[in-house]
Amino acid sequence: MHMPAITGTGVFTPKETVTNDELVAAFNAHADLFNTENAEAIAAGEIEAKPHSSAEFIFSASGIEQRYVMEKSGVLDPARMYPHLRERSDEEVSIMAEIGLDACTTALEAAGRTGVEVDLVICAASNHERAYPAIAIEIQKELGAGGFAFDMNVACSSATFGIQAAADMIRSGSVRCAVVVSPEITSGHLEWRDRDCHFIFGDVATAVVLERAEDAQGAHFLVHSTRCATQFSNNIRNNNGFLRRTRDAMEDRRDMQFMQNGRKVFKEVLPLVSTHIAEHMTGEGWSSDELKRVWLHQANKAMNDFIGKKVLGRTPEAGEQPNILQDYANTSSAGSIIAFSQNSGDLAPGDKGVICSFGAGYSVGSVLVERA
């Protein structure tokens, strides 16, 4: 058995940002347009008028201040409300592979590796832009990697589930150098026309390189243990899929985009995650006093404050439980990896931490790491 280690990380951040004020201005213009176009039906009580959104609500309910997106003009066009992304030919690199490759290149540089040394690529993300061939296999080809590659989807927990899969393979010896890449174009499946969720997501791509600790070229984090768990829930759901054309009345249905019952998610996921991390640490003989850092999924600041406090047994001090959601919003599976990538370089050998992501499914994945 070999000790797996995280030897490099990379983050691709899109160029365009959308502030809460910009988002709310576009949403409110869209709502006014909708209410004017449907004035008669609204007056007859057949449909409800769309209420305005508010930047104050968004910040106080979530902690989000802005988000990065691949293309903002479509998102902010009140008559459209989703991004313009050019269709690419089958001969071009696809957009998920392109941003994933950017993150992979940074992560491999950090690890002191090149693509040819990679023998496993897992593209772990909450949506894949096509059914097949796998985005991971396209990334494998572009990297010049060997071995094998596959896509996986565990929604917001995809990256930690991917890390567990890669770490287990490194531990057993079936692979030697793995990349877990999470290109998240959340702007494609967010319902920008629904004020309950239009502020939630942002786009990004992350990559994590995992190798045998003995192979590490520089500073790295030992992966002591991983733990994944799932429990079925309909509270976060997206019904889009390959059977779409077989169903009637599928033109512009709300459930073809991200849907959630945010209140229920908040209430049900908090105890699930806090208990999961506590039991994982106890199972490995780790105590909360030993933890130097907690890198959590980035959905909601209040959720993270709560989980951080439960895990550490006290209010986290500045920097102990870093949030990046104020800048990136919820980037689905990539959130905890951005937090880890941007807030782990200062840790000293022997320092311990936990990476944890959670979300639809429900699903939760935790990774206990130690700076070597």
List residues binding ligand COA (CB under 6 A). Answer: 53-54, 57-58, 61-62, 156, 195-196, 199, 236, 260, 262-263, 265-266, 299-300, 330, 359-360
Query: φ and ψ at 160, to 5 degrees?
Result: -75, -35
HSE at residue 64, side-chain half, CA atoms within 13 A, is 31
DSSP class per residue in 147-165: SEEEEE-BTBTHHHHHHHH
The answer to whether 224 and 353 have CB atoms below 8 angstroms apart is no
The residue at minimum Cβ distance from ligand COA is 262
Among 156, 177, 228, 356, the active-site one is 156
Which is nearer to ligand COA, 61 or 312 (by Cβ)?
Answer: 61
Which is nearer to ligand COA, 57 or 82 (by Cβ)?
Answer: 57
Query: φ and ψ at 41, to 5 degrees?
Result: -65, -35
Which is nearer to ligand COA, 82 or 148 (by Cβ)?
Answer: 82
The yes-or-no answer on residue 197 being catalytic is no
Compute the distance between CA of residue 15 and CA of residue 17 in angstroms, rounded to an integer: 7
Can you tell me whether residue 291 is helix, strand or coil? Answer: strand
| Residue 6 parent element (H or E) | strand 4-12
The answer to whether 302 and 277 have CB atoms below 8 angstroms apart is no
Residues in the chain: 372
Which is nearer to ligand COA, 260 or 343 (by Cβ)?
Answer: 260
Closest distance of CB 69 from ligand COA, Å: 17
Compute the distance between CA of residue 14 and CA of residue 10 in angstroms, rounded to an integer: 13
Closest distance of CB 53 from ligand COA, Å: 4
Closest distance of CB 105 from ligand COA, Å: 27
Closest distance of CB 101 from ligand COA, Å: 25
Compute the distance between CA of residue 209 and CA of residue 182 in angstroms, rounded to an integer: 12
Give the other-Cβ count within 10 Å of 86's Cβ.
7
Packing angle, helices 55-62 and 20-37, rounded to 10: 120
Which is nearer to ligand COA, 247 or 267 (by Cβ)?
Answer: 267
Closest distance of CB 74 from ligand COA, Å: 20
Compute the distance between CA of residue 96 and CA of residue 72 in angstroms, rounded to an integer: 17
Which is nearer to ligand COA, 107 or 124 (by Cβ)?
Answer: 124
Compute the distance between CA of residue 351 and CA of residue 366 in angstroms, rounded to an integer: 17
Query: φ and ψ at 320, to 5 degrees?
Result: -75, -30
Closest distance of CB 288 from ligand COA, Å: 23
Q: Catalytic positions, please?
A: 156
